[in-house]
Amino acid sequence: MSNKTTEPAIVKSGIKAVAELAGVGIASVSRVLSGQPGSSPQMTQRVMDAARQLGYAPNVLAQSLRRRATHSIGFVGSDINNPLIASIVSGAESVLSVAKYSVLLTNSGGDPGVDAQRIDVLLQRQVDGLIVLPALEDDPATLAALRGAQAPVVLIDRTLPSDIGAHYVLSDHFQGLGDAGRHLLQAGHSRIGLVVGLDVRPTRERIRGVEAAFDSLGLARNLIVHRGRLSPEHGEQAIEELLSGENPPSAVILGGNQLLEGALRAVHRRNLTLGVDLSLVSCDDLPLCRLHHPPIATVMRDTALLGRRAAELLLAQLREPGATDPELMPTWFEARASCGPFVGSASTSAASPGAKKRAKQGPSISSK
């Protein structure tokens, strides 16, 4: 008599077993499990119940290879620590998930060389398409990687050479910055500082918008442009340098939300009150813009909408490839108390009338 115990045989359930248990054909099971249309709710429920009962899961990789589609989209972001990028990604994913696409998110940290590497890696993973917001528009490695892409590519807020068959979703920075510039000029500010990033489309359009504001009012372009990499450090340095000149501007526009924290450090260190000693405008609404006292005037845009439109455009290209015109998404200016009428140039020290009054009060950031 054997002492061995007999263990039940473990049978690997396949699609045929699911079809038999559900009482449907194999083709019907394949259609339901792959998410294809054409199955009734009752049949779908029977197939899903049978698959769960048998512990069956389809081989997604094998299905993808057979169809030459992975149902995945690669997203290359320049800085996912930026709330703007996070909002764009969230908007894109809200559309792609409904269409049953997964998103593979990568971050270059603003390094164009890493942008190119991430693009290559995603293409090697055979993503069905790419959404890209690169650090630069003229980096040779990034351009080479995109030229080699066989999948459709959608660029957000960047423009590339025409030989790269990309599709574009862009923000109308010209309009929003132009409105902000006109607001300041009509309030009497004739000398304006503009802090911008590297030479990419948003920078060029923001400069062009403020210049057009001067032109539209028949005023000389008394504009000081301070360029650098968008960061808190750049914002702080720019404010210090702009206000330390012999003829400092009475108003400053920050062309990027990453600049605001550093700019406010410089403002508070000088004991300046916004809207009195210096008028300040930022871009892309952050909680800090609303919670600061006084609230910061902002050039607004719907960043989640940018992501949604990029995803919709990419899905349309996957269904029916073809040339498209760039899509231009609106921006608008929301005036807040950080912009006041001109009363004189910001002082190079805490010696202006408003600053003297508050010299002992320190920074004014609301804790609400």
- Predicted confidence (pLDDT) at residue 315 exceeds the cutoff of 80: yes
Is 270 in contact with 285 (CB distance < 8 Å)? no
How many angstroms separate the Cα of 85 from the Cα of each of 91, 142, 293, 326?
10, 19, 26, 20
- Give me the domains of the chain, ranges plus CATH numbers: 15-58 (1.10.260.40), 70-171+304-328 (3.40.50.2300), 173-300+333-358 (3.40.50.2300)
Q: How far apart are CA 118 and CA 76, in angstroms?
A: 7
Q: How far apart are CA 347 and CA 249, in angstroms?
A: 9
The number of beta carbons lying within 10 Å of the beta carbon of residue 348 is 15
- Predicted confidence (pLDDT) at residue 65 exceeds the cutoff of 90: no
Residue 49: predicted pLDDT: 82
Residue 334: predicted pLDDT: 97
Q: How far apart are CA 41 and CA 152, in angstroms?
A: 33
Residue 18: predicted pLDDT: 86
Strand order in the sheet with 167-171: 102-107, 72-77, 129-132, 153-156, 167-171, 327-329
pLDDT in tens, 111-123: 888 999 999 999 9
Better-scored residue on pLDDT, 185 or 14: 185
Residue 269: predicted pLDDT: 96
Q: How far apart are CA 260 and CA 248, in angstroms?
A: 19
**Arithmetic mean of pLDDT, 289-304:** 96
Better-scored residue on pLDDT, 50 or 237: 237
Residue 270: predicted pLDDT: 96
Q: How far is CA 150 from the centre of its chain?
A: 24
What pTM value is reported for the model? 0.77
